[in-house]
Each structure stands twice: as C-alpha cells, then as structure tokens.
C-alpha cells in the first residue's frame, strides 16, 4: 500500500505521531507483513503543501477489512480523521521498469 496523508494546517506533528504508530499497530494485530513500513515527508513542488507518505504491506487481501474491526488499529485511525485534509490510498506493485540485465563478465549497468 501507498498512503498519502495531507494534514490540516497546524496538525502536522500530531498526524505524524499517529502515522508513526500505524504500522506497529497493524503488525501487532497480525495484519501487516514483517517488512517495516517506510514513512516519508514530502512537499508538493508546485504549491509547497506538506504530505506524509507511508508504504507498507498488508498480510493478505483480507487484512484491510479486518483492520476496520480491530480496536488497536481503529485507535490510530479514528484520531487521524480530524487531522486530515485529504488521504489517498493506492495499491502498488513492483514492476521491472528501468532495469537492465547484467550478463556475467559483460559489465555493470550505469
């Protein structure tokens, strides 16, 4: 998953604190894989708006639905709502774009 959180003005610190607790809550509930979430701070090049971006892996296809019924996860999600101006949820998958295969003894990609 790739989640883009856009905080309301003045709510940045509180939102980041909740985002930082998100994956640990999912993991403790057995809903996320052992691969730790990655959280980034991002600024839009055009308007300077701050966003937080989180990447993590659900345990399986049903984990997202189960999360909605899990008190420890809801304890993170519910206080997020008033702090958010916007949130975007994207399912992502790795693709092999931009990679060049290296044949043994032929050199390395640049």
Per the structure, the count of domains in the chain is: 1
pLDDT band at 110 (very low <50, low <70, confident <90, very high): very low
Give pLDDT tens digits for 41-100. 999 999 999 999 999 999 999 999 999 999 999 999 999 999 999 999 999 988 876 666
The answer to whether position 19 is within a domain reads yes
- In 3D space, the residue among 43, 48, 39 whose CA is nearest the CA of residue 2 turns out to be 39
Q: Give the structural domain span for 30.
A: 2-90
Contact, 86 vs 15, CB < 8 A? no
What's the mean pLDDT when you consider all of the chain?
Answer: 92
Please list the alpha-helical segments (H only) found in the chain. Answer: 12-28, 63-67, 71-80
The answer to whether position 27 is within a domain reads yes
For residue 69, the domain's CATH number is 3.30.70.100
pLDDT band at 105 (very low <50, low <70, confident <90, very high): low
């Amino acid at each position: 998953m790739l989640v883009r959180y856009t905080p309301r003005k003045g709510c940045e610190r509180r939102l980041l604190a909740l985002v930082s607790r998100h994956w640990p809550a999912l993991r403790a509930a057995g809903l996320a894989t052992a691969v730790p979430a990655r959280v980034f701070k991002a600024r839009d090049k055009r308007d300077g708006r701050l966003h937080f971006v989180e990447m993590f892996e659900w345990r399986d296809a049903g984990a997202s639905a189960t999360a909605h019924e899990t008190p420890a996860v809801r304890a993170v999600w519910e206080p997020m709502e008033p702090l958010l101006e916007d949130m975007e949820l994207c399912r992502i998958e790795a693709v092999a774009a931009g990679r060049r295969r290296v044949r043994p003894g032929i050199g390395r990609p640049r």
